[in-house]
Amino acid sequence: MATKKVKEQTREILKDVFGYDTFREPQENVICTLLDGKDAFVLMPTGGGKSLCYQIPAIMREGTGIVVSPLISLMKDQVDALIRCGVRAAYYNSSLKAAAAKEVLDQFEAGELDLLYVAPERLLTKVFLKRLERIKIGLFAIDEAHCVSQWGHDFRPEYVRLGELREIMPNIPMIALTATADEHTREDIAERLGLKRAKRYVSSFDRPNIRYLVSEKRQPLTQVLTFLEDWKGSSGIIYCLSRKRVEDMAVNLQRHGVRAAAYHAGMPARQREKVQDDFLRDRVNVIVATIAFGMGVDKPNVRFVIHHDLPKSIESYYQETGRAGRDGMESEALMLYGSGDVNLVRRLIENVENPDQRRVEVHKLNSMVALSEALTCRRRVLLGYFGEEMKGTACGNCDICLDPPETYDGSNIARMAVECVKELSGDYGVGYVVDVLRGSKNVRICEKGHDKAKSHGTGVDINGDEWTSILRQLVHRGIFVQDISRRAALVATKKAELLLEGGSVTLAKYQPGIKRKLKRFTQGKDKKLYQKLVEMREKLAEDEDVAPYALLSDVALTEMSQLTDVSESALQNISGMGQHKLEAYGEIFLGTLKEHADVRGQAGGKDASGAPKLMAKGSPANDAQMHTWGLYKKGADATEIAAQLGTVEKSVYNHYIALVRAGYHIDVPAVIGEEFDEVMAELDDADPYASLTEVKRDLSVDLTNEFFRLILAWREAIGVA
């Protein structure tokens, strides 16, 4: 059992390295399990903090932690993020050239790495396994562990052999992690990886910051464009079933001014890599993709996910929607649902050769249809599928809860269904139960003798579609469960027994189609300082050639924009601002924050010294800036002011920017010179969806960053922007 001292060390690493004050449940317990040398099996939602569960033990344990990851892009993102936190990490996969691969292996053999990310195919070669025997290994982490299971939605044959690690190195602690696994999948993972005795940690599958919306598919392009109006400039993903739909949607969005790009497996590898990189670097806002995109994307600030077409399973839907809001901020998941999509997916499933796998996929599709047509809280249905019962009857953050359907007391009808299921001994699925209740005399029912059952025909007055809806609602409410190992047979639960004993249940009135309205988040908070911080992050990210979120998350920038105490000690409390990042970027962001301190004085007029002022937009000028202002009023130019202040011209221009934002009059057209009018005209015509970095890059005039920011400050001061 981890001692108090060990727990204190884990918290110190959490704060100093990763910049977080407290663990989420059950991170600390998982970490302590691995530090004790024991195995762990972790189910935690996307964005729940799975990575820390093995990263911190790998840092603390002697030797290198081996992380098995299925996608190259995911490895690179995670390693980049770790390096920026000061962690010794590397990846070893086919993307590395010979010299780089040798350097990584040399570091590994020399014990210079805390974590090494490896693809399963590379890990299980004879050469690499032989290497593991002579190197100290701290732990094994199997990420995306659902890929091991035949019941999983993303089964990968190359993952199956990972169970050999348990046999080869039985004394090295192993952790398996996944965000999506129902009960059958969990058991299969544990069996295949030799983790039957592993301590299991199952977090809530709930992502309360995501709003789940389903709308009947009518005019999909119009529906998507309407949805995007409230998310201008935000990052998002749109999933389509076919490559042609992906390309068509991307082109249509581009025609409507959305910075969108297509992504699918039929594109050349280099083109796919560029699209993904542009998305990660915020050069592209919206990715339109098949399911080929996303598993390797570790981008925390995706604000929305749209399913243009029906996903093939709830696991896929959960994983794909889970790519939104990984940072915990408000996000939305919209699905456009049409019966034509159901038929298309069914046809795809019919092409699966393995009958057992085909049966599993049919069950998963039926569950997805049930979620789409649900008349009860979407979140309740989603959580119930993974065996989790939601607290309360409504989440208040899905389309059903925001625009509830009409309800009625369905106790008698529900008892009718329970009695039928019990009479059939829990061996039959929804369709068969509906047929019995409706009094069907089809061949199968007569052969089984169920035409003589007491419940046969008791529900003849209710049509088949409505009975299907009722049975699905009863599954959602936990009165029945579906046993996937017995062809999704309905099985009565303890709640069913309580219902027969006089309990009650409220059902939603069946309505064909989905006609609910979409009620949206209200946007509109003041984003001026936040946008300045975003621009600063973009510049730093470009300089270091990394994705902006790898430097600091949107959460960190949001917290910064709300600071009242602008100091280094205040920055230490920003989420994700570890010691390494504080030393690297703290002073830079403090400068931006100090420029944008609270506005003092009214717009227009003069200050106490008689300085004429524009519309006050930003912070009051500090002493150094006021010194610059005094010299400027006397007619000194930037070169002369820099000489008198003992600084460089760049600092003087930064003072000009701060003064203009504070409302002091600097003749910016004169400072910029003859190129000023040309730049102003180009800014007027710039793409409103483009980032400032892109706008600057597309200008015909090569401006310094200071001149560009000075012009932007001027435009804002005179009310143009």
CB-based contact 482:475 (threshold 8 Å): yes
| Pairwise CA distance, residues 322 & 333, whole Å | 9
| Pairwise CA distance, residues 20 & 11, whole Å | 9
CB-based contact 628:639 (threshold 8 Å): no
**Residue with the larger pLDDT of the pair 80 and 239:** 239
* pLDDT for position 53: 95
CB-based contact 65:58 (threshold 8 Å): yes
Structure tokens at 304: 């929305």
Is the pLDDT at 457 greater than 90? The verdict is: yes
| Pairwise CA distance, residues 469 & 656, whole Å | 66
All structural domains of the chain:
4-202 (3.40.50.300), 210-402 (3.40.50.300), 407-508 (1.10.10.10), 527-594 (1.10.150.80), 597-721 (1.10.10)
In the chain, count of helices (H) and strands (E)?
34, 17
Most confident of 396-400, 600-604, 650-654: 396-400
CB-based contact 55:30 (threshold 8 Å): no
CB-based contact 156:70 (threshold 8 Å): yes
| Pairwise CA distance, residues 438 & 421, whole Å | 13
Is the pLDDT at 691 greater than 70? The verdict is: no
What digits encode the pLDDT tens for the residues 468-502?
A: 889 988 987 789 888 766 767 899 999 999 999 99
Residue with tokens 């190992």: 485
Mean of pLDDT values over 529-557: 85
Closest by Cα among 615, 587, 588, 623 to 599: 615
Residue 443 has, within 13 A of its CA and on its CB side, a CA count of 0
Is the pLDDT at 270 greater than 60? The verdict is: yes
Closest by Cα among 77, 557, 18, 91 to 299: 77
Q: Residue by residue, what is the 3-state secondary structure of 348-393?
A: HHHCCCCHHHHHHHHHHHHHHHHHHCCCCCHHHHHHHHCCCCCCCC
Mean of pLDDT values over 579-587: 84
Mean of pLDDT values over 106-130: 91
Mean pLDDT across the chain: 84
* pLDDT for position 199: 92
Is the pLDDT at 602 greater than 50? The verdict is: no
DSSP letter (8 states) at residue 571: H
Rg (CA), the chain: 30
Q: Where are the beta strands (DSSP E) in 133-197?
A: 137-142, 174-178
Mean of pLDDT values over 286-298: 77
What digits encode the pLDDT tens for the residues 316-365?
A: 899 899 899 988 888 999 999 876 787 788 888 888 888 878 888 888 88
Structure tokens at 20: 């977080």
Mean of pLDDT values over 536-540: 87
Is the pLDDT at 660 greater than 90? The verdict is: no
* pLDDT for position 455: 93
Paired residues of 41 in beta bridges:
176, 200
**Residues 6+ positions from 144 with CB-CB distance below 8 Å:** 69, 70, 154, 177, 178, 295
Q: pLDDT band at 625, cuts 50/70/90?
A: confident
CB-based contact 313:367 (threshold 8 Å): yes
Degrees to nearest 5, angle at CA 709 with 704 and 713: 150
* pLDDT for position 155: 62
* pLDDT for position 182: 72
Strands 489-492 and 480-483: antiparallel
Weakest mean pLDDT among 311-325, 367-381, 448-462, 675-689:
675-689
